[in-house]
Structure 1
Amino acid sequence: MPIHDSEGIFKVPQPLFLYWDAVATAREEYRTETALFSGETREYSSDDIAKLIRRWMKQIGLGINRAHVIGSHGHDQKVAAVITPTYFSYNVTKWEETGFHNDEGHPFCIAKEMAVGKFPLFLEGVARVMKTMDKKQAAVLYEHVKQSGLRDNELKMYTLSSTLAGQSYDMGRMMGFSSGWLENQSVWMDQSYKYYLELIKKGMFDQFFEEMRSGMLPFIDGQKYGRSVMECSSFIVSSAFEDPNFFGRGVLARLSGSAAEFLSIWKLMFIGDTLFQLNEGGKLEMQLVPSLPAWLFRENEFAQSRADKKYVIRFKLFTSINVAYFTATPKDLFGVKPLRYTIGLRDGSIMSVDTISSTLAANIRKVVLIDYIHAYF
């Protein structure tokens, strides 16, 4: 494992350095040889490809483990060891000159030793590594992230990075901004929405809906946000900023990646992961599998008798088909399939079914033939 000094600089052990040198050399030679492709092809057996992939996966796993050991510093010492860091710096500490020079007269060198420097935590590494985890592992990571410097406890949101105080300006332009602004520890909406998306993908519904109520636009204070909550911003000023009057303010409104993440989240909440699929017989089927908390349901204003389901939530499918979910009592629907459906066609006919299959599923895909879908839980 790497050896580090009191300032957190890790000296790369010689075997790891030699491995890096061999891989980097092979990569550079490959790029030189393939600068102009010949068009020739070569066949490999599936066994050979599988062996290559296993070797690559092993090296990736070793690298991730080393990253956890190196961890992160700054103000996250207690939890850094279990949160995957995102960035490192690499410095050549020993080298030999080749005797050659570039056009500006600077000497070419061959690296002989290297050191790895650590940076504070960034949310990007967390969101990415969570994709590779199962639910149990993701839940552990979530709890540690919640206790880390990535959490803005005042806003109950997550910042792009933990504090960058004391970092070198070699980190780049982020060091030119005040804390809490732009890349320097603000709430980067695109990145935080990616994190929320991973929570619901992992089936961590309690954690996701807790975060959603404080971290996603439909549920935040519009006055504090400073613009319509229907409008995404590039970033939200965090409580690390020097002026408290700006805490929670949305800055640089635009159609950012957060809109795409929000649509993915909405789909998982209201529709499920896979709306249409083929059954074992190869026939088309449709299945709504929402993941919705009880507190989103409202009393059914159209209920006329005790037999009618009292609570409902509504949305539009394909911008045209009115869909309503009905329950007798407010309850969480986390990955739950409906007990039955009532489907109204535009010709006035009504169908009651337990499953939506074959012709009916195909008609729903055509959209224009269907007026509404009522699902009962």
Structure 2
Amino acid sequence: MWKGGKGALHESNVVEGKEEGVGCVITSLSSGIKLHQLRKCDSLVCVLSPTFQTYREVTKLTFSGVKDTWSNADLIATLGAWEDKLAAGLQKAIDFNGGFVPTYFQWTATEYEYTEGEDDLGNPFVKVSAFEPTVLQKFLEGPVRYMKTLEADAKSEIYTAVKTSPIYDSVLQMFKISESLKELSPNVGRLAVFAAGWLENESVWLHMSYKFYLELLRGELWDEFWLEAKTGLCPFMEPSVYGRPLTEASSFIVSSANPDPNLWGQGFVSRLSGSTAEFLSMYNYMMSGPKPFSLDDDGNLQLTLAPVLPSWLFDEEENTISFTFLGAVSVTYHNPDMLNTWSIDSVDKIVLTMTDGSTTEVDGGVLGTDDATSVRNLEVTALDFYYASSS
């Protein structure tokens, strides 16, 4: 396994099995990619498939234990070439689909020859030499997965493309798992079997839409995130429409594509796994920022909370909002001007309340090593952040 890379403190890394394990795969993959780039082979799949097949056969029962040392320079160059190849392939797929990130392809064999043998049903084996790709309908998953690989400034274009596509349900103001699948062949599986707006067929799949919202946060599209959160996150939905507790996620929400308007917006099948995990990731980000604990330029621990909260979430009388950090520390943000937190220039001070009841006041919005360590060790019961006021 690759255990280093840029910035690694050691000069080499160990991979398993030079001749028959990961080392062999690395070498073969690199050679195959290079041959394909030089146009010395027509199909990269045909070159790489034997490598994977051999690896699976050799390691089916055990690993040899033989180890091989690779320099960081060689691994960085190799992995960089792989990354470039994957990026080129992604862009090729996007261009093939008219600029929208595809999710599923259907491949039709256009050139093949019969070989010896047949399967248990009597169908002959063939060797395919050419396929014709067809992109299936637009799905949310492709753009979401792609966004996870992008830098923050590149995610805005994906958001706009998805919002202006048929994936967006303008009635519910939510994002469906797909556009209409009525033209989809039943050969692809159960997707097209369900009624429109139900389950995998054009419903609002919370696990996937939550992933989309999380990427908006990570892309620093905070205005866009909170615009969508008002209608797309369960806590802000209308209980009488959603039909279940707002603290409980659902597998899917019936979209306006469904023929029964009485079901639109209703959640079905309680879900406590994927969508809940995505919500917790969003919650931690919006309440404390992407990286509360970090190291300063000298390598010392520090704590910086950078919440992404809109003004309308703050209590109108107290101008505050509170949450629990690290499961035990009560954090309260004081927002005198009632502004979106991402538009506030600075924190005036932080007040720490220790477990013995004493308090400490720190100027600015960063806690140094000693205070950050106290928070992490749960020696602090409360933190009060006071944003600077313009008045």
TM-score, structure 1 normalization = 0.86
Preserved contact between residue 17 and residue 113 of structure 1 (Cα < 8 Å): no
Seen in structure 2, the aligned counterparts of structure 1 residues 320 and 26 have a Cα distance that, compared at 3 Å, is: closer
- For 1:49, the equivalent position in structure 2 comes to 75
Seen in structure 2, the aligned counterparts of structure 1 residues 280 and 55 have a Cα distance that, compared at 3 Å, is: closer
Task: Show structure 1 runs of 5+ residues with no match.
Answer: 1-13, 72-80, 302-310
Task: Give the secondary-structure state (helix, strand or coil) at the position aligned to 2:70.
Answer: coil
For residue 48 of structure 1, report the CA deviation from its aligned partner: 2.4
Seen in structure 2, the aligned counterparts of structure 1 residues 320 and 335 have a Cα distance that, compared at 3 Å, is: farther
Preserved contact between residue 340 and residue 353 of structure 1 (Cα < 8 Å): yes
Preserved contact between residue 179 and residue 241 of structure 1 (Cα < 8 Å): yes
For residue 117 of structure 1, report the CA deviation from its aligned partner: 1.6
- For 1:89, the equivalent position in structure 2 comes to 106
Between the aligned partners of 2:238 and 2:40, the Cα distance in structure 1 is 54
For residue 101 of structure 1, report the CA deviation from its aligned partner: 3.2
Seen in structure 2, the aligned counterparts of structure 1 residues 52 and 168 have a Cα distance that, compared at 3 Å, is: same
Higher mean alpha-carbon deviation, 203-212 vs 100-109, is at: 100-109
Q: Which amino acid aligns with 1:259?
A: T
TM-score, structure 2 normalization = 0.83
What aligned pairs does 1:301-320 form with structure 2 within 5 A after superposition? 301=318, 311-320=319-328
Q: Which amino acid aligns with 2:330?
A: N
What aligned pairs does 1:35-74 form with structure 2 within 5 A after superposition? 35-36=60-61, 37-71=63-97
Seen in structure 2, the aligned counterparts of structure 1 residues 25 and 92 have a Cα distance that, compared at 3 Å, is: farther
Between the aligned partners of 1:257 and 1:350, the Cα distance in structure 2 is 40
- For 1:239, the equivalent position in structure 2 comes to 256
Between the aligned partners of 1:282 and 1:320, the Cα distance in structure 2 is 26
Between the aligned partners of 1:330 and 1:162, the Cα distance in structure 2 is 39
Between the aligned partners of 2:81 and 2:341, the Cα distance in structure 1 is 42
Task: Show structure 2 runs of 5+ residues with no match.
Answer: 1-38
Preserved contact between residue 160 and residue 191 of structure 1 (Cα < 8 Å): yes
Aligned-pair identity (%) = 34
- For 1:210, the equivalent position in structure 2 comes to 227
For residue 64 of structure 1, report the CA deviation from its aligned partner: 1.0
Preserved contact between residue 291 and residue 335 of structure 1 (Cα < 8 Å): no
Between the aligned partners of 2:368 and 2:188, the Cα distance in structure 1 is 56
- Indicate yes or no: 2:364 matched with 1:352: no
Post-superposition CA distance 1:259-280 (Å, at most 9, x none): 1111111111111111222333
Seen in structure 2, the aligned counterparts of structure 1 residues 16 and 145 have a Cα distance that, compared at 3 Å, is: farther
For residue 123 of structure 1, report the CA deviation from its aligned partner: 0.7
Between the aligned partners of 1:319 and 1:124, the Cα distance in structure 2 is 32
- Indicate yes or no: 2:47 matched with 1:22: yes
Between the aligned partners of 2:133 and 2:41, the Cα distance in structure 1 is 12
- For 2:352, the equivalent position in structure 1 comes to 343
Preserved contact between residue 150 and residue 162 of structure 1 (Cα < 8 Å): yes
CA root-mean-square deviation: 2.0
Task: Give the secondary-structure state (helix, strand or coil) at the position aligned to 1:144.
Answer: helix
- For 2:3, the equivalent position in structure 1 comes to none
What aligned pairs does 1:149-298 form with structure 2 within 5 A after superposition? 149-298=166-315
For residue 283 of structure 1, report the CA deviation from its aligned partner: 2.9
With a CA cutoff of 8 Å and minimum separation of 6, indicate the structure with the bigger relative contact order.
1
Preserved contact between residue 288 and residue 338 of structure 1 (Cα < 8 Å): no
